[in-house]
């Protein structure tokens, strides 16, 4: 009987650290050429938990616990929970490069209202804009990223496309735009256009920033994207754009350094 009791106590003792490990905020994921798995569900934070950290392809990633916050920082080191979907997505009344009423037209309500005003302001100044791509679900981002991995390889793909969960498009607060002729949509040639110059000068008035400015690659992890604008609210946008800094620098976050 004593021997049997000892076995039971040992079993209980062994179970305690195992349960603790499953609840810890550390997860090591093996290097993959395709993104096919997410951190275990035990590591998904709720609104009242601390940020969760794990490793993906040798990089320390932090899962944000405040995805609904308007100025939330999402980049290669800070990702959204895999089950996150904005609960206030809506269709802004702006023209896009396509006619279909599909997912990538959507934005969060506050950003949708702001982008409508931005487009109207641009038109008053004689500048016509078109939306290219706004919200992107986690599933769509995964499919898109994996298609780039298949075509160019993982290392190449992550230089121009976001690993699922780290794309600002998943927040519903970002949108790619282009000129009214639809040319240079999400392409480098947009950088020299009248529309790009107008955005640089005026986005902050409507609460947006040029998210990936020129010369900030080592901080944001991405090259210059004059077409990618992100809603953060007017006061923050005006400070970021007037100082010529990034969202990372504004919140004193660790530079991505690619």
Residues tagged active-site: 225
3-state secondary structure of 224: coil
In the numeric block, the tokens 């990089």 are attached to: 59
Which residue spans within the chain are E strands per DSSP? 28-29, 52-56, 59-63, 78-79, 89-90, 107-108, 129-133, 174-179, 208-212, 225-231
Compute the Cα dihedral for 71, 173, 230, 57 and give only its sign: positive
3-state secondary structure of 126: coil
Running DSSP on this structure, what letter comes out for residue 207?
T
Q: Are 39 and 54 in contact, with CB atoms under 8 Å apart?
A: yes
Running DSSP on this structure, what letter comes out for residue 213?
-
Per DSSP, the residues of 161-194 read: SPPTT--GGGGT-EEEEEETT-TTTTSGGGGGSH
Distance CA 174, CA 184 (A): 18
Distance CA 108, CA 177 (A): 16
Strand partners, 230: 174, 209
């Amino acid at each position: 009987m004593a021997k049997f009791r000892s076995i039971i106590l040992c079993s209980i003792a062994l179970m305690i650290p195992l349960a603790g490990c499953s609840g810890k905020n550390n997860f090591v994921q093996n290097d993959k050429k395709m993104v096919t798995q997410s951190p275990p569900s035990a590591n998904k934070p709720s609104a009242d938990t601390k940020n969760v950290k794990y490793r993906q392809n040798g990089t320390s990633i932090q899962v944000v616990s405040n995805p609904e916050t308007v100025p939330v920082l999402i980049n290669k080191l800070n990702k959204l929970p895999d089950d996150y979907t904005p609960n206030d997505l809506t269709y802004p009344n702006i023209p896009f490069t396509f006619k279909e009423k599909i997912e990538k037209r959507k934005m969060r309500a506050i950003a949708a209202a702001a982008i409508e005003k931005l487009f109207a302001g641009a038109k008053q100044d004689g500048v016509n804009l078109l939306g290219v791509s706004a919200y992107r679900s986690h599933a769509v981002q995964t499919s898109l990223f994996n298609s780039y991995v298949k075509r160019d390889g993982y290392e190449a793909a992550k230089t121009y496309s976001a690993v699922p969960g780290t794309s600002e498009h998943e927040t519903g607060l970002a949108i790619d735009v282009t000129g009214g002729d639809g040319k240079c949509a999400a392409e480098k040639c947009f950088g020299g256009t009248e529309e790009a110059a107008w955005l640089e000068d005026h986005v902050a008035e409507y609460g947006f920033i040029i998210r990936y400015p020129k010369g900030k690659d080592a901080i944001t992890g991405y090259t210059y994207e004059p077409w990618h604008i992100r809603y953060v609210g007017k006061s923050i946008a005006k400070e970021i754009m007037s100082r010529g800094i990034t969202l990372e620098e504004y919140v004193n976050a660790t530079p991505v350094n690619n």
